[in-house]
Amino acid sequence: MDFFDAVDKRRSMRGYEAREVEQEKLDRILNAINKAPSAGNMQSYEVVVVKDKKIREALAQASRGQGFIADAPVVLVFCTNPLKAGSKYASRGVNLYSIQDATIAAAYSQLASTSLGLGTVWVGAFNPEQVAEAISAPEGITPVAIIPVGYTTENPSPTPRRSLDDLVKKEHF
């Protein structure tokens, strides 16, 4: 799929078939994630691939009961690794770059999934301590985005966006 088609077709999908995601497609998504840019190319983030039903249910519970997380056959949990970025960039690495690294990779996962005919949704409303516990995250590794991936039962309309005139400032504010 053309890049701009993937950008146009991506929607937040909150209904999933139980059908498994083919390992080949999952590998392509993970390889796309791994090509994302990162501060100093340090890749100061971790990705946890969750297929286990009990862990998916724990993630849904930790995310205000958003049940579609448990329905998706694969759930990607993107976590910051702040000490990695911090070792090179001090507080800017800890407080900003590790989050940017993780979230750029998460965005890549959504577009890669769309181009492979899979649905995703970005889940940010969760209790980070509970999510960390569900995935047995080591100390200092903080979940920042949960991305369920699967064949979707939905075909939602596009959501509105700000006009470019409003969003984009010419030269300065």
Ligand X SMILES: Cc1cc2nc3c(=O)[nH]c(=O)nc-3n(C[C@H](O)[C@H](O)[C@H](O)COP(=O)(O)O)c2cc1C
- Binding positions for ligand X, rule: CB under 6 A: 11-12, 14, 66, 121-125, 159
* Closer by beta carbon to ligand X, 78 or else 97: 78
Q: CB within 8 A of 70, min separation 6: which ones? A: 53, 56, 57, 59, 60
Please give the structure tokens belonging to residue 132. Answer: 């960390």
* Closer by beta carbon to ligand X, 20 or else 154: 154
Report, in angstroms and rounded to the nearest whole number, the Rg of the chain calculated over CA atoms: 17
Strands (E), the chain: 45-50, 74-80, 119-120, 142-150
Crossing angle of helices 82-92 and 98-115, rounded to 10°: 130
* Closer by beta carbon to ligand X, 136 or else 159: 159
Least distance in angstroms from the C-beta of 147 to ligand X: 10
Q: Which residue is nearest to ligand X (CB)?
A: 124
Least distance in angstroms from the C-beta of 128 to ligand X: 13
Least distance in angstroms from the C-beta of 56 to ligand X: 15
Least distance in angstroms from the C-beta of 145 to ligand X: 7
Cα 97 to chain centroid distance, Å, stands at 16
* Closer by beta carbon to ligand X, 162 or else 169: 162
